[in-house]
Structure 1
């Protein structure tokens, strides 16, 4: 059994496949590296413009103090303890109109968005009723609004409260995130049963826009010209519509769902980044690196099926293909994925796939014409490789049914091999090849590996 030429042929082909794993591994590392460079573009845009934005507010920060008695050194001492109460809106409506622009850094591109945001909030005095007690002194309130990156604040209108207007000042003073804006309010406004206010802010950012639903009832309506949104965060939009011209989305939440009324209250110290939020992300529509990486995972399937076709051809004909020729054809298939990666950065994935397939077919067609001793056989194998390329492309496009299609291809290939070799006597084939090798050895006076003569 160990002297069977068919066995040695199969082991040699397996060795060729294992050897090709080395350049495929290097190619995977190159894809990861190029993808990291592409991701760094978003970081560069964030550094030169502004990063992701998270809106936290508006809410009213009310400083208050109480008189308490403490025992120190056996004596009762009266002290004043200071606290901070956050007065949350009873109703919060945020409306945004987003415009996304493409920015290029070298051959890579990223997106910068600008959003005009209108904020309407209503506060109910019942939230402060528990503070109407003797010994509690209320300080001067401030309305605060936190943002993720204050560099993105292009402009902000004055705060409208009834027929009065108040100008915002920089800084939010919120724990864990001081970036934003604030405005001082008259203390008598806290005595109003209902306090309604509104303002508008123009914000710039990259990647995503988030809104923390602080209101007892909060809605967020966003309209954008970007047709490739990513809805992440703690809440999916209640409804959305995506067209080639852009998207619209609407989020809604309440304290029953997010429990923010208990998280943001007295002496609030939780980082605003850890709170639930509505989120809309600007997603890159074509990720050629992810698609190429997925394609490389099918490389062994493509090379293996090609080698199977050569092995079957050798078995059914008297023509022999040398291991070096197997290896060169395998390297040309590896180069297909490298050409795909290089071209996809400039002309897109689908066109790069077509170009790489035709280039690889032309090279193999020219080479196999000499190996297989004829254009007819060469074109037949090249056509088979192009069909495999088309099937592989379909696998990449059909993510949900990729396993089903891949399994079907393997079953079809196995069925074809079994059908074409069902009448072959493998023992007789091995004996014939061994006998031919011995005869040639006697004639030439030297031994040759009879499998590849």
Structure 2
């Protein structure tokens, strides 16, 4: 009886020892798993560098800014020195209404392994300014230099400008000139000068022929801003604080419309002598809306999410292998556990390298089938039977299939994952009933 008890104690201790070793192996495999995440991040940085290179050579993201009406006026301050001219201040006025119509013709620009979305765009802008309310500003009409009025507008990347914009304002038409002064309303500004009529609304219109990449945005500056945007990109992502009031997305492209009021605009209608009013980063972010035209499937994002499940897959696989040992009463050496874990780590490098070439879906299929076949055949050879090989093929197929579904279900990933894990635990509990943890019997 004592001898039997000693055997039982030894058996229990050997199981605990094996579980301890398996746990240690899982923890050690976290190290190469983190290396895989670092590798993915490195490839993402490389992709970003390629996108930046294309943007530098072609043109970057475009943002339509303005226009703003600028009126110089003479201050009433007495000159400090005799015959010194009075100082000049500036009144800045935003439009009462502006209409923007933009059509985007997009294409994929191949740069190494990566695709960058570039586009050509025709943009038509028209609108009206109201007369400045000089009384609120403490300025008289006699102080205003109406013959030196300016209309200023900005484009985020002037390299993408394909024409010399002709601006019609207050019945006068001129070619816009680059505003080289460093203290400007916009980082990349163009302007025309004209004589402002004293009375009635001031109308304006101009057309832009642009090229850009990845994003197309506009800055909400008017009391009423109406934007119509269309393009042939089938998977746009609308961004900014104000989403479109209506949008239509098909395989052929998209159409979107915005109708924005001054209540959603973080800028005053008019002000004086603050050239940086439209450069406040927080305000500009709040007033910017538009569309992202990036490639619909973000391979690296999906691979990163897949890699984060590596520990779970290794854990479940090792638990399944360990239960198989106990049920079949056949021992598998710890070194073989290491080899199986290594195969599951190499799986993610296969997935990453293939996804860069052929896309995530097909890469996932190739990497999964290859890894499942390798581990199943290896397990079958260790246990000397085709039955455990088939069983492990089914188990791993279920695991990798489950992860693939989780990756696709962005919004329901937590719900589906919780239910699936509950089912997996229940299955393990069911099969563990067949194991006598006290004896070899």
TM score, norm. by length of structure 1: 0.87
Aligned ranges for residues 5-404 of structure 1 at < 5 Å?
A: 5-69=14-78, 80-128=86-134, 133=140, 136-138=143-145, 140-161=148-169, 164-171=172-179, 173=181, 175=184, 177-186=186-195, 189-262=196-269, 265-272=272-279, 274=281, 275=284, 276-404=287-415
Q: Distance in 1 between matches of 2:54 and 2:388?
A: 53
**Cα–Cα, structure 1 residues 215 and 108, in superposed 2: closer, same or farther, change >3 Å?**
same
Q: Distance in 2 between matches of 1:408 and 1:58?
A: 55
Residues in 2 aligned to 1:20 and 1:147: alpha-carbon distance in whole angstroms: 50
SS in 1 for 2:51: helix
| Greater CA drift, 353-362 or 414-423 | 414-423
CA distance in 2, matches of 1:219, 1:425: 74
Figure out how many residues of one structure are paired with residues of the other and give that number.
Answer: 425
Q: Over the residues paired in the alignment, what is the CA RMSD in angstroms?
A: 2.4
Does the Cα contact within 8 Å between 2:170 and 2:197 map onto a contact in 1? no
Q: Which residue of 2 aligns with 1:439?
A: none
The normalised TM-score by structure 2 is 0.89
- How many angstroms apart in 1 are the aligned matches of 2:206 and 2:421? 62
Pair 1:234–1:265, CA change in 2 (3 A)? farther
- Any unmatched runs of 5+ in structure 1? 433-453
**Pair member with larger Rg:** 1
- Cα 1:134–1:62 change in 2 (3 A) is closer
How far 1:322 sits from its partner (Å)?
0.9
Pair 1:426–1:132, CA change in 2 (3 A)? closer
Deviations 1:389-429 (A, max 9, x none): 11111111112222222222222222122222335442335
Secondary structure in 2 aligned to 1:260?
A: coil
**Can you list the C-alpha shifts for 1:141-182, whole angstroms capped at 9, x where unaligned?**
111111111111111442234664322222375626352321
Q: Give the Cα–Cα distance (whole angstroms) in 1 for the partners of residues 224 and 65 of structure 2.
A: 15
Q: Which runs of 5+ in 2 are unaligned?
A: 1-8
Q: CA deviation at 1:374?
A: 1.5
Task: Determine the structure 1 residue equivalent to 2:6.
Answer: none
Equivalent-residue separation in structure 2 for 1:117 and 1:77 (angstroms): 48
